[in-house]
Amino acid sequence: MIMKTFLPFLTLGLILFGACSPENTSVKKESAKSKEVTSGELKLAKGKSIYEANCAGCHDSGVAGAPKPGDKAAWSERIAQGGMDMIVKKSIEGYDGKAGMMPAKGGNATLEDEEIKNAVTYMTRKL
Ligand code: HEC
The alpha carbon of 90 and the centre of ligand 1 are apart by a number of angstroms equal to 8
Look at residue 70 and tell me whether its pLDDT is greater than 90: no
Mean per-residue pLDDT of the chain: 83
Task: Give the tens place of pLDDT for each residue, 9-46.
Answer: 655 555 545 554 455 555 555 666 666 668 889 999 99
Contact call for residues 52 and 45 (beta carbons, < 8 A):
no
Give the residue-averaged pLDDT of 69-95.
95
- Mutate which of 59, 95, 116 for ligand 1? The one with the most ligand atoms within 8 Å of its CB, which is 59
pLDDT of residue 83: 95
Give the residue-averaged pLDDT of 64-89.
94
| Integer Cα distance of 24 and 41 in angstroms | 26
Alpha carbon 14 to chain centroid distance?
A: 41
| Integer Cα distance of 85 and 91 in angstroms | 10
| Integer Cα distance of 43 and 65 in angstroms | 26
The residues lining ligand 1, judged by C-beta closer than 6 Å to any ligand atom, are: 54-55, 57-59, 63-67, 78, 87, 90-91, 97-103, 105-107, 116, 119-120
Q: Integer distance in angstroms from the first to the last C-alpha of the chain? A: 66
Look at residue 47 and tell me whether its pLDDT is greater than 70: yes
Ligand 1, atom 3, lies closest to the CA of: 58
Ligand 1 atom with the shortest distance to the CA of 82 = 26
How much of the chain exceeds pLDDT 70, in percent?
70
pLDDT of residue 33: 64
